[in-house]
Structure 1
Amino acid sequence: MASDCQGKSSWPELLGAQARVAVVTIETQNPYVDTQVVLEGTPVTKDFSCSRVRVWIDQNRIVTRVPVIG
């Protein structure tokens, strides 16, 4: 599904980065998406959206999963 979305769809280089750096990077590299910072363990919907990138973080605000459109 991500291939149907506009712009960059995955940011493996942000794994281990600070949340604020990840958000700025993602929104700069793909102006078609909005980011959602989510603490690991938080329940989220399973629906797919081309306009959303979830940035999963730990308690130290470090990115714990590769951010992808969805």
Structure 2
Amino acid sequence: MPAGGPKKNMGRLSLTAAAVASADDGGVGKLKSSWPEMVGKEMVEAVAIIMSQRQDVIFKFLQADDPQPPDFDDHRVCLFLDENLIVVRTPVVG
């Protein structure tokens, strides 16, 4: 043993969004996948809020009348925006 006593390993702690969600929801492991409360918010605010809850997603920005993309991506959130960049449909993962 070194003269100063045992060395303590102060390793880094890394949490994924899934691990944080598991801790927050009692360990069930469900990540938030829908944000109806974002309808009516400005794009920048909506992105910031969603990113604070799901750091694992990317965003696809679409016009208000665009269809939902046909392919499913569990790491994508589609934001449907009007001409003033206001969210007009509930953002969902997919």
TM range (shorter): 0.7 to 0.9
- Residue 34 of structure 2 is aligned to residue 10 of structure 1: yes
1:1-70 equivalences under 5 Å are 7-42=31-66, 45-70=69-94
Larger radius of gyration: 2
Identity %: 38
Per-residue deviation, 1:69? 0.3
Q: How many residues align?
A: 65
- Where structure 1 has 5 or more consecutive residues not aligned to the other structure, the ranges are 1-5
Whether the 8 Å CA contact 1:27–1:35 is kept in 2: the answer is: no
> How large is the Cα RMSD of the aligned pairs?
1.6
Inter-partner Cα distance in structure 2 for 1:45 and 1:29: 22
Inter-partner Cα distance in structure 1 for 2:31 and 2:68: 24
TM-score, structure 1 as length reference: 0.81
Whether the 8 Å CA contact 2:77–2:93 is kept in 1: the answer is: yes
**Aligned-partner SS, 1:36:** strand
Cα deviation code 1:14-65 (max 9, x no counterpart): 0110011111111111112111221223466310000000010000111010
Greater than 3 Å deviation, 4+ residue runs: 41-45
Alignment partner, residue 11 of structure 2: none
TM-score, structure 2 as length reference: 0.62
